[in-house]
A and B are shown apart, each in its own frame.
Chain A
Amino acid sequence: MTNSLILMPMRSFFIVFLLVAFGVQAQETAMTSSEISVFTEGVKSEAKNTKSITSDFVQYKHLDFLSNDIETSGKMIFKAPNLIKWQYTAPYNYSVVFKDDKLLINDGGTKNTVDIGSSKMFKKMNVLIVNSVKGNMFDDDVFEISYFKTATNNKAVFIPKDKNLAEFISRFELLFNKKDNQVEEVKLIEPSYDFTRILFKNRILNPTVADAVFSN
């Protein structure tokens, strides 16, 4: 009894401490203009050295009316200047290659070159991801861009200026790791506030990637 009385405030203090510590860490502030230029230059210089990327990813589709987000996962392969492949392996096999303004789809063996997934919205998003590793995304006059920072990450938020695009998407968010200026997370928020969140992990920079990977 005595012990618990002593422990209680101590435990509460610890919880409050944890909350404050995490709260501070997660807190997001707007970048100053000099920070923006350091950040964008950093991404551009990193992008110059990026010839290829392979990375595992997990995608969470959040629909407000569902109890749980829909989780799918796989591998993303990028090769400069603009080849990109999303290869889903769980819970099913599906891959899509963005190549020469076309979508090459392999849906568990069913192959297609034209699909509704070729909606302008995702094309834009892929252009954005490709550009983010190439380093010219920040010149894009299609978006209104704002910049934020936390203790560990930099974040760029893109709000489409184009009305057609704004119908599909209210904003994109790209989360960069501060250490290496690589994209860690992409979040795509719809006007309904439903969103798609893609988390990258096990990223390998500049591995050898054969062109055949993108034949799909």
Chain B
Amino acid sequence: MESAPLSSESLDSATTPVRRSKRSKALLISLVAPLLLAGCKVPSFGAFSGASKTSNDVFKLWQGFSIAAIIIGGLTLALILWAVFRYRKRSDEIPKQTQYNVPLEIIYTIVPIVIVIGLFTATVVVENKVVSNPTPQATVDATAFQWGWKFTYPGHKAVVVGQTTQTPALVMPAGQDVRINLVSSDVVHGFYVPQFNFSRYAQPGMTNTFTFNISKPGVYPGQCSQLCGLYHSLMYFKVIVLPPASYQAWLALKDASTSTADAAAAALANSLGTSARVPTNPSGTNYGVK
């Protein structure tokens, strides 16, 4: 980058630092600008920002990967398009038969390795948060079956069960570590809640355990993500996140087998102002489900 006449001997000491500092300022700005932007507003790149601290970390990882992908992909695409437009045939002359440029090839081997190590490090940091299982404040056993879900609460009589268009609700307290023990009673299903930025297989003969800590009360749609047979498309559920006191009240109502408990919980969650209303089959078709 240094232009030829710029050497410390030929220039007086007064101008050099100015130039240097100007240049380093520009460099600093170009380095910090993305970070500043990150502080203000980085686009979501289409993903959900996440309903919990952990899922928000996953979202930030997503943003980081997206920025890297756009920079690398953009540069590569620019190189492709430049080559395509700049080097289109202009004469019958045979061009220089360049076959190797070892330093260049080493650079485009090493730089991607460094980027990969960076992406991997960020991955491991976030991954450890996502898969950590702290001592829970509430536990829910979830069982997937063809084609619906059953949610039970160890130590309680509360049971929520529903299939296909009934959309059963998993009720959990907000702001607490909630452990989910997930299993399937038949084939492989997928427990997927888009706004938690999370999915996990429900498998027969094998219990998967994971923890949510959802900060914001509300209703979050979920559905089976792994093909499980005929009515896979309709295997919906929802997660209702209530303030802890309301959750305890709901649990007591369920233990007393009060039939209106779920409706009350849903109404409460909706009244708490949620961005995630769960629409329920506006068409009303039941697709021949028996």
Do the two shown chains form a genuine complex with each other? no
